[in-house]
Structure 1
Amino acid sequence: MTTWEAIAVVLAGIFAGGINTVVGSGTLVTFPVLLAVGFPPVVANVSNTLGLVPGSITGAVGYRRELAGQLPRLLRLGAASLVGGVVGAVLLLVLPPGAFETIVPILIGLALVLVILQPWLARKLTERQGERHVHGGLALLAGVCATGIYGGYFGAAQGVLLLGLMGILMDESLQRINAVKNVLAAIVNLVAGIVFIFVADVAWDAVALIAVGAIVGGLIGAKVGRKLSPTVLRAVIVLVGLAAIFQLLTR
């Protein structure tokens, strides 16, 4: 990578780390940047997953006050995320690269739809306030595991999926749900990353640059992210995601 390409990757990591802490979908920023600087799609995805791990952990630490009293919930849902993350990582490695290149534009498109629909989902959560369960039940465990599979395979908007699932199925405030989301996303990225270290091609220079940026972004997101306009964030995510789809389809 050139110096300017390296700077672009770091900046993408900062932005992704902040977005992941506040909403999710940071992969829609870092993944297309890695494609733009010349990495093949599977290598870009593997390196991106590893690079975002420190930012996910930083974001989770930044929400530690909201995590108070949620250890039993984290253990239950974290186990589901761990299993899902391993399965998703294995799927990425055993399926042919052509399958990934075919599926990812569809996954990004679905992720963008989720990002756009998030305000509508939030309203539905409020309407269903009286119907939600304090722990979410088996339906939430299954949903978190499925989201972990998706996160281990690609990961864009897994945070949005988790927020939607927990908000619909669990009786808890949005800030405390967001804190749990950060921990679960960190678990998925970490376990998938461990799998990738041993058996996948990793661009370690890209991992290091994204990690540096994601740590800074996670800190910023935890401190000031709640003050940013969700509408602006969603608009940026959608634009970047559309650029990623265009780039994948025209490679």
Structure 2
Amino acid sequence: MAAGTINTIVGSGTLITFPTLLAFGIPAVTANASNTIGLVPGSISGAIGYRRELVGQRSRVLRLLSASVVGGIVGAVLVLALPEEAFEAVVPALILLGIVLVLTGPKISRWVARRHETTGGLPHHGAWWVWHAILLAGVYGGYFGAAQGVLLIAILGIGVSESLQRLNGVKNILGAVVNGVSGIVFAFVAEVDWLVVLLIALGSVVGGQIGAGVGRRLPDLWLRAMIVVVGVTALVYFFVRG
């Protein structure tokens, strides 16, 4: 539920669920695959909760979806193609990146908001580089995904002339697509714990609706603090285990 809520609002739910799965002794690659699949229904739930903000953005969403599809597939293939040891070695760095993005999220948001006040005139689909940046964010999301939403909202906020609330609706759809396509790849060729998938799916669906409704009124500082605490705990776990 916490991950579903946070994914809808901030986009860092993996920093809650992934360390939790590791604490229960689930191998890193299995935990990543199971978590990715399990969070898909929650992402869809959050996108549905933001359906009012998506009105009039169909062509923009469809264009950017292609980048997320390609990126998600590439990221998932990288997880499977590289040795499990490589994934376990890079995960602490990705968790640290996620924590940094969460901590700097408010500054990014303020910078984006100021830029929106002083610039305009961008094409409806955004600047030319937005599609490519969404593709790279999709690769990151397909590979691990922590704070993928922060990356997406920063890219959209900088490159698309639109309100942040409406862009957050787009972010939720793109995140759901990345998790969805990478989850399909994992389902067929990776080791998946389907009980974990079911539990995360059920909780994240409820959390997605909370994030789209009540969760948007929760103090942002509380959410960020919880993410940072869990993320730091995961880093400590990795270093102690190593």
Quick check: TM above 0.5?
Answer: yes
Listed one character per residue, the Cα deviations across residues 119-151 of structure 1 (whole Å, up to 9, x for unaligned) are 111121122123352422221111100000000
The Cα offsets for residues 101-130 of structure 1, whole Å up to 9 and x where unpaired, read as 110100110111111111111121122123
> Which residue does the alignment assign to 2:172?
182
In structure 1, the residue corresponding to 2:51 is in which secondary structure?
A: coil
1:38 is paired with a residue whose SS is coil
Q: Tell me whether 1:19 sits opposite 2:9 in the alignment.
A: no
- 5+ residue gaps, structure 1, are 1-13
Residue 52 (structure 1) aligned with residue 42 (structure 2):
no
Matches within 5 A, 1:1-251: 14-129=1-116, 130-132=118-120, 133=122, 134-251=124-241
| Secondary structure of 1:128's aligned partner | helix
Displacement, 1:249? 2.2
Partner of 1:34, secondary structure, is: helix
For 1:28 and 1:145, how far apart are their aligned partners in 2?
22
Corresponding letter in the other structure for 2:181 = V
Counterpart Cα distance in 2 of 1:131 and 1:249: 44
CA offset at residue 162 of structure 1? 0.4
Per-residue CA distance 1:14-52 (angstroms, 9 max, x = gap): 100000011110000000110011100000000000000
Matches of 1:131 and 1:89 in 2, distance apart?
36
Distance 2:237 2:29 in 1: 14
Give 1:237 shift: 0.6
Please give the secondary structure, in 2, of the residue aligned with 1:18.
helix
Distance 2:164 2:113 in 1: 10
Structure 2 letter corresponding to 1:25 = S
What fraction of aligned residue pairs are identical, expressed as a percent?
A: 58
**1:169-192 Cα deviation digits (max 9, x unpaired):** 111101101000000000000000
8 Å Cα contact 2:63-2:125 kept in structure 1: no
* Partner Cα distance (2:240, 2:31) in 1: 17
Letter in 1 for 2:140: Y
Q: Which AA in structure 2 matches 1:78?
A: L
- Structure 1 CA distance, aligned partners of 2:228 and 2:221? 11
- Structure 1 length as normaliser, TM-score? 0.93
Measured after TM superposition, the shift of residue 247 of structure 1 is 1.3
Q: What is the identity, as a one-letter code, of the residue corresponding to 2:129? A: A
Q: Distance in 1 between matches of 2:119 and 2:174?
A: 24
The structural deviation recorded for 1:56 is 0.4
Question: 1:138 & 1:50 partners in 2: Cα distance?
Answer: 31
The 8 Å contact of residues 67 and 131 in structure 2, kept in 1 or not, is answered as yes
State the superposition RMSD in angstroms: 0.9
- Report the residue type matching 1:131 in the other structure: T
- Secondary structure of the corresponding residue to residue 113 of structure 1: helix
Deviates more, 1:219-228 or 1:126-135: 126-135
